[in-house]
Structure 1
Amino acid sequence: MTTRWGITIPLEGVPLPDQRAVVEQMPDLGYTDVWSAEAAGTDAFTPLALASVWAPALRLGTAIVPAYTRGPATLAMSAATMAAAAPGRFALGIGTSSNVIVERWNSIPFDEPYKKVRDTVRFLRTALTGRKVTADYDTFSVRGFTLGAVPEQAPPLLVAALRPGMLRLAGREGDGAVVNWLSAEDVRTVAPYVRGAGEDKEIVARIFVAPDTDPDTARGIGRRAVAAYLNVPVYRAFHEWLGREELNPMWSKWDEGDRKGALAAIPDSVVDELIVHGPAEYCRERVRAYADNGVTTPVLAPIGQASADPAALVRALAPGD
């Protein structure tokens, strides 16, 4: 059983300054970690900076920061600042993100994603020690950068990974992997690729949860999320690799431009595999199944839960005894 239990911050639908009281309670409820994400809401670092003050016992992590959307030196400075603010309690998760976020939203070419992440990890390994970096990587060059505020303890570097190449990179050159959009059973498929480089490699899993939600509502929320994410090329390729043939009808309808048809073609069974829903105790059991199958740090990501009472949601999802 895992000794770690995380949740995604900021919580949905609650102004960031109003989340202090909830975050302060998390350690007493059994949470060990808070992890941020970065897509179209808050940036990845600001919620963690606040949490580092609100609840100094919590470990902090990014899941994830895109490797493309900050220059290498800027990313090193951001990571070093968080590591200094929370010594020994910060982990940097980086990854490719997706063509939607990188190209459509940030107008940056989504070129050579594997090499981009690999090069970024290699650069950060050196830069975060305070050594001067002058190097030509395959995807960028750095001339004479020296980090001016070196953290006492460099943060672990975790790589967001889906398929074998990136999973192996996460284990070989990173300190572990951040995984996303997979079932508890899928963990058995992905974990060996990471831990081929060492059994001590961390695996952080973002797990979408809708506790205490009736099945029809939860499946409706989940079906929309599946359609939004698993038609993005990187996630589609991941689930094709996993052999999730039940999604073929959805992908066919989506390719034809039939969005309603694609939504209707998603089977309940797939939603139930990828979105943890039901009574809170059942949700906790399903999260523990991820840990039993090889996840080191489960990170709950409430979905469709713009809650008027975020404290109740956090209590419902707490690990318990």
Structure 2
Amino acid sequence: MNRWGLTIPLGGLALGEHREIVAELPSLGYTDAWSAETNGTDGFTPLALASQWAPELRLGPAIVPVYTRGPALLAQQAATLADLAPGRFVLGIGTSSDTIVERWNGIPFEEPYKRTRDTLRFLRRALAGEKIKEDFATFSVKGFKLEAAPATPPPIVLAALRPGMLRLAAREADGAITNWLAPRDVRTVRGELGEEPELLARLFVCPTDDAEEARSIGRWMIAAYMNVPVYQAFHQWLGRGEALRPMNEAWAAGDRKKALEVIPDEVVDDLIVHGSPAACRARVREYVENGLTTPVLAIVPGGGLSTVEAVRALAPGD
């Protein structure tokens, strides 16, 4: 296997306490560290630290939203990381969700496809050192130029859950990022993206032999995500809409207890990687066999293991 990524920061460990485990990742067989940006750390700071703690790792945010920073600031932060990790930084951008953009940040979640396309086109030019003065469809830039463009402009990958964004990623980006899918779903995604571009996916991994423990944790996570419109639409496209419909209806009616109860075991087993560490590694490899380029493990503690112990136990090995 060529790549094996990890989501940082790890749950239950303060960001400043990550130095030792991040420095250890390359020797464990991890090739990548990918951050996220929801309601915890921002997407860039953990990568800045990791760039100094583990100079061998490829780094990227999966993802930073295209709405919550202005285009110029997004270019500046990408250029900074590209300078800290030359040739090892990949910029992951996407729409995020209406919850994060509109409800939490007070920014209208309008024309997500066009906003992502415009931001991608702007960043390509800005990170190449071009001075940009242009009216894009969703924003205008009047004379911005990076003070110091990166010597190696970073690749840009798009968060893409459905055909339109996957096709945009295939045409204009360097790859796509997805999540919340089963191994067989990778083939559906590849059908729109094509076989050549890099495809990354964040995989939620709970290393425990206690299936009920994993399913209990997984139900809470699935309910939190699959009632967000973009993820509902994604799973309808993947053919899981009917299986999730009772949960969606109970959640919309305000019955959280019932929403959790009606999520089928098969759906949890599809979307959460669980079992012994060896079984989890085997399941991750199923994703790769179905066309995933870069699995990015998001560790959900289970089985009595601390997060750091799970990182070591889930390392790819031979």
TM-score, with length taken from structure 1: 0.96
Counterpart pick for 1:257 among 229, 254, 258? 254
Q: Distance in 2 between matches of 1:108 and 1:313?
A: 37
Aligned to 2:116: 117
**Which residue does the alignment assign to 2:158?**
159
Letter in 1 for 2:30: Y
- For 2:186 and 2:196, how far apart are their aligned partners in 1? 16
Distance 2:258 2:63 in 1: 31
Quick one: distance in 2 between partners of 1:310 and 1:225?
A: 17
Q: How does 1:123-202 map to 2 (within 5 A)?
A: 123-195=122-194, 199-202=195-198
RMSD of aligned C-alpha atoms? 1.3
8 Å Cα contact 2:209-2:303 kept in structure 1: no
AA aligned opposite 1:278: G
Counterpart of 1:31, as a letter, is Y
- Residues 79-112 of structure 1 show CA distances to partners (whole Å, capped at 9, x for unaligned) of 0110011010000000000000001111100000
Match of 1:51 in 2: 50
Identity over aligned pairs, percent = 63
Give the 3 Å change call, closer, same or farther, for CA 293–318 of structure 1 in structure 2: same
> How far, CA to CA, are the matches of 2:303 and 2:103 in structure 1?
27
Identify if the C-alpha distance between structure 1 residues 305 and 12 changes in structure 2 by more than 3 Å, giving closer, same or farther. Answer: farther
Give, as a single letter, the amino acid of the residue that structure 2 aligns with 1:267: P
Q: Which amino acid aligns with 1:255?
A: A
**Aligned residue number for residue 265 of structure 2:** 268
* Matched position secondary structure for 1:153: coil
SS in 2 for 1:43: coil
Q: Which consecutive residues of structure 2, in runs of 5 or more, have no partner in the other structure? A: none
* Structure 1, gaps ≥5 residues long: none
Question: Is structure 2 residue 207 aligned with structure 1 residue 211?
Answer: yes
2-structure distance, mates of 1:98, 1:306: 32
Task: Give the number of aligned pairs.
Answer: 317
Superposed CA offset, 1:5-25 (max 9, x none)? 000000001011111100111
TM-score, structure 2 as length reference: 0.97
**Are 1:12 and 1:307, in contact at CA under 8 Å, matched by a contact in 2?**
no
Q: Is the 8 A contact 1:12 1:306 kept in 2?
A: no
CA contact (8 A) 2:179 2:203 kept: yes
For residues 22 and 149 of structure 1, what CA distance do their matches in structure 2 show? 32
Structure 1 residues 59, 114: closer, same or farther in 2, change over 3 A? same
Report the Cα distance in structure 2 between the residues aligned to 1:216 and 1:161, rounded to whole angstroms.
Answer: 31
2:296 aligned residue (283, 291, 299): 299
Write the distance in 2 (CA, Å) between the matches of 1:307 and 1:80.
40
> Is 1:243 paired with 2:239?
yes
Aligned positions of 1:5-44 closer than 5 A: 5-44=4-43
Give 1:61's aligned residue: 60
Contact 1:81 1:149 in 2 (8 A): no
Is 297-306 or 287-296 further displaced after alignment?
Answer: 297-306
